[in-house]
Structure 1
Amino acid sequence: MTDLHAHLLPAMDDGSPDVKTSVAMLRRLQAQKVTAVCATPHYYRRQNAPAAFCLRRAEALGRLLAAAPPGLPRVMLGAEVAYFPQMEQQPLGLLCVEGTRTLLLEMPFADWTDLQVETVTTLALDCRYDVVLAHPERFCFSQGNRRQLARLAALPVGLQVNADSLLRRPLRGLALELLRGAAIPLLGSDCHDLARRPPRLEEARTVIRRRLGPDFLARMDRQADRLTRLRPGEAAL
């Protein structure tokens, strides 16, 4: 099983503060039967050029791997890329999950414009990225965003719901509705630490299995495996 969204690189962003916590997070994921995890620190274009970000990311991974015992889930480098204007014109390969065209995209926490939705469409259809929208349930605060999200859900775009959203009654129904209607339904822990936002994939998967069925959960697992499989011509980082 693959976790597509985790902030476990030490001192990289607002996630794990240190190597000890990062190793403990990997152990927690292992206990939940995770075999591979995408390390997806926040990427903000206004703060970092891709090359500088990737250097910091590689250094953080090096510190983690030096301390991690054998047998823990495999860590794949990626990023949670915050939307920025004209991003479809930029080379984004360094920010994809390593060895793939999978781009985890965080949309703005505001009403989405038609131009922003068109940019995502271009990334998916013209640039041929495997776009995955991070935690779409967090953006459904307006009818406008719900309509825009319905447009994107009809495309070959992944909708990655957070595990915690399936465990909170106010959000659970919405999260299940989004998964049910997605062309590519996906689950991620979006874990940041061991206390406030820990990995809770196992509990969330139980909800999906009970409400949407084991076949639906198996379909989600297949999609996650596909999106993290090394593609010919895409070098591993």
Structure 2
Amino acid sequence: SLDSYLVKRQNAYEKLMAADPAVKDIHIGAEVAIEKGISVLGELEKLCISGTRLILLEPPFTQYNSWIVEEIDEIANSRRLIPIIAHVHRYMGVYSKSDLKSLMSVDAVFQINAEAFEHFSTRRFVNKLISSGRDFVFGSDAHNLDDRKPNFDLIAKRSGSENIRRSDKVLMSAMADEERMFAF
């Protein structure tokens, strides 16, 4: 259930902070699988990145269907959340070019993981995305420090500090917008 997930997430966050991590400015959130009907899930806002209206959404790694874009649009328009499409470069091998174009047409922020800079085709894809002027954020998709470790050095090396600033600006802007919404 959503409530049990939120308790587990909070416990993990508290355990992490008790370990005195090198990075202190940690914002919790969730990677939410897009499923048909997800846009009407009660309390979906609780899965946003803390202090923002940003919600990280992961499209299915199955055959593309038009309801995917409909769910994203519904989350953005009816729920007034800002979708971030998780590791968009991974769908190059899953969706057809026209399906990927449809996914890229949504009004969303696109997450680019460090791994996208490892291979020519994905690097070319994300460089076009960055050049297009669309909003994006960098991520690592780190799950551990062994086979899925953070690799932000690759982003700095292959994309540059200006693009890192652009990525950071998306989160900072969303946090500032949230603070302005609730300032009286």
**TM-score normalised per structure 2:** 0.85
Is residue 103 of structure 1 aligned with residue 50 of structure 2? no
Seq. identity, %: 25
Q: State which of 156, 165, 169 in structure 2 corresponds to 1:218.
A: 165
Is the CA contact (8 Å cut-off) linking 1:136 and 1:159 kept in structure 2? yes
Q: Per-residue deviation at 1:58?
A: 0.9
Deviations 1:106-149 (A, max 9, x none): 00002321122111012112321011000011112222322212
Aligned twin of 1:34: none
Q: Return the alpha-carbon distance in structure 1 between the equivalents of residues 136 and 50 of structure 2.
A: 21
Q: Per-residue deviation at 1:229?
A: 4.6
Aligned twin of 1:4: none
Q: Return the alpha-carbon distance in structure 1 between the equivalents of residues 10 and 113 of structure 2.
A: 25
Q: Secondary structure at the match of 1:77?
A: coil
Is the CA contact (8 Å cut-off) linking 2:34 and 2:71 kept in structure 1? no
User: CA distance change for structure 1 residues 52 and 190 in 2, over 3 Å: closer, same or farther?
Assistant: same
Q: State which of 153, 156, 167 in structure 2 corresponds to 1:205.
A: 156
Q: Return the alpha-carbon distance in structure 1 between the equivalents of residues 122 and 101 of structure 2.
A: 18
Is residue 231 of structure 1 aligned with residue 178 of structure 2? yes
Q: State which of 73, 78, 87 in structure 1 corresponds to 2:38.
A: 87
Deviations 1:48-98 (A, max 9, x none): x111100011111122222226x5332221000111221111221111111
Q: Secondary structure at the match of 2:27?
A: strand
Q: State which of 145, 153, 158 in structure 1 corresponds to 2:99.
A: 145
Q: State which of 51, 54, 59 in structure 1 corresponds to 2:6.
A: 54
Which one-letter code corresponds to 2:20 in the other structure? A
Structure 1: segments with no counterpart, 5+ residues: 1-48
Deviations 1:148-201 (A, max 9, x none): 12322xx2x100111111123342112222333352122111111112121111
User: CA distance change for structure 1 residues 199 and 129 in 2, over 3 Å: closer, same or farther?
Assistant: same
Q: How many residues align structurally?
A: 178
Q: Return the alpha-carbon distance in structure 2 between the equivalents of residues 94 and 201 of structure 1.
A: 27
Cα RMSD after superposing both structures: 2.1
Deviations 1:199-219 (A, max 9, x none): 11132122112xxxx544432
Which one-letter code corresponds to 1:148 in the other structure? S
Decide which structure has greater strand share: 1
Q: Secondary structure at the match of 1:187?
A: strand
Q: Secondary structure at the match of 1:75?
A: coil
Q: Which has the higher contact order (CA 8 A, sep 6+)?
A: 1
Aligned twin of 2:112: 161
Aligned twin of 1:186: 137
Structure 2: segments with no counterpart, 5+ residues: none
Please show how residues 10-21 of structure 1 align to structure 2 within 5 Å. none
Q: Secondary structure at the match of 1:231?
A: helix
Q: Return the alpha-carbon distance in structure 2 between the equivalents of residues 73 and 202 of structure 1.
A: 19
Decide which structure has greater helix share: 2
Is the CA contact (8 Å cut-off) linking 1:100 and 1:227 kept in structure 2? yes
Aligned twin of 1:37: none
